[in-house]
Structure 1
C-alpha cells in the first residue's frame, strides 16, 4: 500500500461539496460574498475533511487536515513554487475532467507509473476515470521528455506537460522544439495570476517516441 509523503505545510486547495476543487483565495472570496458557512471541504487527494488553517503567513497555508495529520502535497525535495504549481494543476485537471465527464475522480501526487525496472515518478497521477499524468516543470535541467513519455505510453497513460513561466526553461522555445515532432502546445503555470493552462494532451497517437525522433530534440529536452 502506498503512503503519502507529507510535510508540515498546509494546502492551498480543497475539494468543495459540489465536487469542484477550490483555492484558498476562491474560498475567502466565497465567504466574503456569502458569509461564514460550514464549508465541509475535503482533501482532493485523500478525501479527509479539511479546515481553515490557523496559519496564513504563506501562500499555500490555507487548509489543513481536520484530524491533524500532515497534508498530502508537502514533498521535502520540492520548492514552494513547484508545490504551488502542482496544487493548482491538480485543481485545473480535476475540474476539467469533472466538468466534461461528471465522473468520480481518483488523483494523487508523487506517484510511480511503471514497474520496478522501468518507471517514472509523476508529479500528478490521475488513475480514474482516465489514466492521465501531469508534469509540472520548474527548475529541472534535463526534461527527459521522450523517455518519460515512452514509459507513460507503455503503461496506457496520457500526459499534460506544464511549465512554470518563471522556471529554468524558456517556455516558448521549448514548445517550438517539441513542435518539431508533434504539433502540440504545452501548458503553463503563471505564479502571478495563479492560473494554469493545461495545454494539449500528449498521447501515443500524437507523439512519436522512437530513438530517431528523440535525436531531433535538444539534449536538455529529450
Structure 2
C-alpha cells in the first residue's frame, strides 16, 4: 500500500451485526487454572456470503457521484496478494478477501447462555444461576443466547442491574432476624430457630423437636 500511504482517504467497513456462526468453549481439564479450549468457528458459509454482500454495497456507495464528484473518490483496487488466483471483483475473489481480511470486533457474547433446562448447551437459568452449581451466578454479556444487534454496552448494563436486583432480593429474603423468631410451623412439624446462624434452609417436611434441636439450623432454600 505504499502508493497510497499518506494520502487522504476514507474507509467503509461492513460489519456483521448478527452472525450465524457459533463457536464452542470446552474444558480441557478439571483444574480451574487450566485455560479452556475455545474455537470461535468464525466465517461459516452464511456469514461469508453476508459479508460479500456488504462489500458490494460499500463499493456501490463509494462509486456514487457524491463521493466521486465532490471528493474524487477512487477505490484502491490492487488485488490482495493472497487472492490473486481468483478473478478480481468476482464473488470468489471477495470470499477470499473476506477470509483474509476479516477480524472480530470486540463484543464477544454468549459463552454461558441463559436458556431452559431442556437445552443441553445452556449454562444459567432465568435468574442467572449456574445450573447444578450452588452459590454461583453469571452476570455479563456471556449469558445472552444471541448477540444483540446493537453495541453491547447498554444490554450489559441492563443485565447487571437485573442480576444485582435478583441477588439482593434473594439475600433480603434470607436475612431473617433470629432474635425475632422462635418457631416456624409447617404441615409436618416445626423448626426451632436459634441465634448465631445468619442464613438457614428450611424444608416443609422437617420433623425436628424444638426441645432437642438447640442451636440446630438447616439451610434456607431461597
Per the shorter chain, which TM-score range?
under 0.3
**Structure 1 or 2: larger strand share?**
1
User: TM-score scaled to structure 2, two decimals?
Assistant: 0.23
- RCO higher in structure (CA 8 A, sep ≥6): 1
User: TM-score scaled to structure 1, two decimals?
Assistant: 0.23
